[in-house]
Amino acid sequence: MIQLDLQHAHLKEDVKAYQEQVNQIDESLRMKTCKGNDFIGWMTWANDYDKEEFARIKTCAQKIQNDSDVFVVCGIGGSYLGARAAIEMINGLYAQKKPEIIFMGNTFSSSYIAQVMDYIKDKEVSVNVISKSGTTTETSIAFRILKQFMEGKYGEDAKHRIYATTDKARGTLKALADKEGYETFVIPDDIGGRFSVITPVGLLPIAVAGINIDDIMKGLHDGMGEYGDADLDKNPAYRYAVARRILQNEGYDVELFVNYEMQMQMIAEWWKQLFGESEGKDGKGILPDSVCNSTDLHSLGQFVQDGKKILFETNLYVEKPMIDLTFPSDDENLDNMNYLAGKSIDWVNKMAAKGTLQAHEETGGVPNIIITMPDMSAYSFGNMCMFYFKAIAMTTLMNDSNPFNQPGVEVYKKNMFKLLGKE
């Protein structure tokens, strides 16, 4: 279970003063009467998910592991970030597992697309094209190139190496997959893209990466209970949601997601979409930004400490590292580092976090929220999803916005389509 510490946030209002509002919003989520009420399938997904399809994900993952050097996952936004975030967090950044997972369909950069195509050309490849709408342009461009490559390489057999994850009935991708005879997986109608890592969108790539997806579902399921109470004393996700609103009332318009693990950087990217698209609308919302420390203490650290007071930090601490190392002793001690000999490097990391917290809080006057997760396991990933889902739903509804749409994203697309000459 995730722990929340608000002691370093120095809130000027009492979180409990919001209990009545939280009760009402919680009720509206449960009764499905809130704004965006047709997109709250994630709340009970850990019970409701299609067990037959879940078994099929595992079977396909095994086939892909056996017959592929590379698994290309083609998608963007919610159809990309969650899977990558989970795989990197759970497996680490240099997992020597087969197949290697590569992401495409997340850019118009021809340089990137060409590099991937060159890298995979002599390897055994399987492809997972993922799009809820089935019409996303980045994904469609990459997938046409991949499809032609796969057909050239495997002929008729290409269709046994292409997996499509999309809406159950609508969209160009669904029609194409049916026509070509691809194995397909369904993105449920009532779960939006940025909540979809817990559906086949995330689960197939995650399973192909050799991660136990039962553990993810168990963490998610336990999270339903752990973050399911309307009582603010019993629900850390709702306390976090309220604390954000209080901090914004105090004038903090930026939330900096802080972590100390390199393999969590994509979690920050996933969180940015989840929070930014959910809350940034109607002229309201907190801008989500992120740093990975101590790396970024040597860049953005200066601004956080001394710059304009526009931000608060939300630290995501991990109690237990994936692997710990002991710092070695050296007879000559030319680098004067022997004072750390025999110490755990994770302990050094934690002391850096502690010292930073003190510096930012006490000297810099920056409010700090602390979220602690036990480890970087599959179970903890599933559990963390429920924590953040509940938090963003509550905090956005407190702003009287719909947490589950993203109307603002369409504006650039319209302009782009006009420039591209799309009918």
Provide the 3-class DSSP secondary structure of residue 309. Answer: coil
CA–CA separation, 115 vs 327, rounded Å? 38
Q: Which of 229, 209, 235, 246 shows the shortest CA–CA distance to 103?
A: 209
CB atoms within 10 A of CB 322: 15
Least distance between ligand G6P and beta carbon 253 (Å): 22
Residue 320 is among the residues annotated as catalytic for this protein: no
Least distance between ligand G6P and beta carbon 275 (Å): 12
Residue 128: which H helix or E strand, with range?
Answer: strand 125-131
Residue 413 is among the residues annotated as catalytic for this protein: yes
Cis peptide, bond prior to residue 196, ω within 30 of zero: no
Least distance between ligand G6P and beta carbon 276 (Å): 10
Residue with Cβ nearer ligand G6P (122 or 410)? 410
Question: Taking the mean position of all CA atoms in its chain, how far away is CA 362?
Answer: 31
Q: For binding to ligand G6P (CB under 6 A), which residues are involved?
A: 76-79, 131-133, 136, 139, 193-194, 277, 406, 409
The residue from 88, 226, 277, 313 that is catalytic is 277
Residue with Cβ nearer ligand G6P (196 or 380)? 196
CA–CA separation, 174 vs 182, rounded Å? 10
Residue with Cβ nearer ligand G6P (22 or 101)? 101
Least distance between ligand G6P and beta carbon 32 (Å): 21
Residue with Cβ nearer ligand G6P (356 or 396)? 396
Least distance between ligand G6P and beta carbon 274 (Å): 10
Which amino acid does the sequence have at 230?
A
Residue with Cβ nearer ligand G6P (201 or 220)? 201
Contact criterion met (CB below 8 Å) for 327 and 341: yes
CA–CA separation, 169 vs 123, rounded Å? 33
C-alpha dihedral, 234 to 237 to 239 to 242, nearest 10°? -150
By annotation, the residues acting in catalysis are 277, 413
